[in-house]
Structure 1
């Protein structure tokens, strides 16, 4: 299986750990997909290392400047992703996940569908089906 973890900020260690520990299975492939505003993932990757403890292969990729959701969906199709994981960057006063524009546009995109799971630190769209 292939899992995409969208990195919106280098401060997403809790979301990345949650995905690696509870969603990703051994022998999975993980694609860290960083937004263009995130320059380097070195500190984040180092914080969740060693990756061997999770039994995964991983790659680091970047969305192009001026990307849109279609670029992200195209990337997911290219790597045959089974799930897309997005860190929850903000919660309401009652502790519910606040959906940002990126997450909303992925969840509502016409060419992709799946089951939505909301964790403590991440929103996961899994069992992806591509209609495009």
Structure 2
């Protein structure tokens, strides 16, 4: 652990580069596999969450297969179609290159800040629990 903490300047690669160079190829390979698995599972969960929020709260009218509130399989089919579309969009962004991804980070940050502001406004807007929003 002290080799990781005192390794100095890391030229490229981030935490995986530092761990693999400090602890050797065995630990580096194990950590690399865990990073890959965690990133893959996290991306799948983010896509499902984004599609669910989009269809449930933002635009329920764009459901391709009908009313998903009556049948759960309709929502699963929507997950498949919209998730595939979102995955292709993300693959395109990543394939363009790191320069575009770093430019896209400002848009993602604006979305996160907007979401936090919306949560705070929602807390104070309906603080007494009134039913007028239903």
Same fold flag (TM > 0.5): no
More helix, by proportion = 2
> Using CA pairs below 8 Å that are at least 6 residues apart, which structure has the higher relative contact order?
1
More strand, by proportion = 1
> Could you tell me the TM-score, scaled by structure 1's length?
0.26
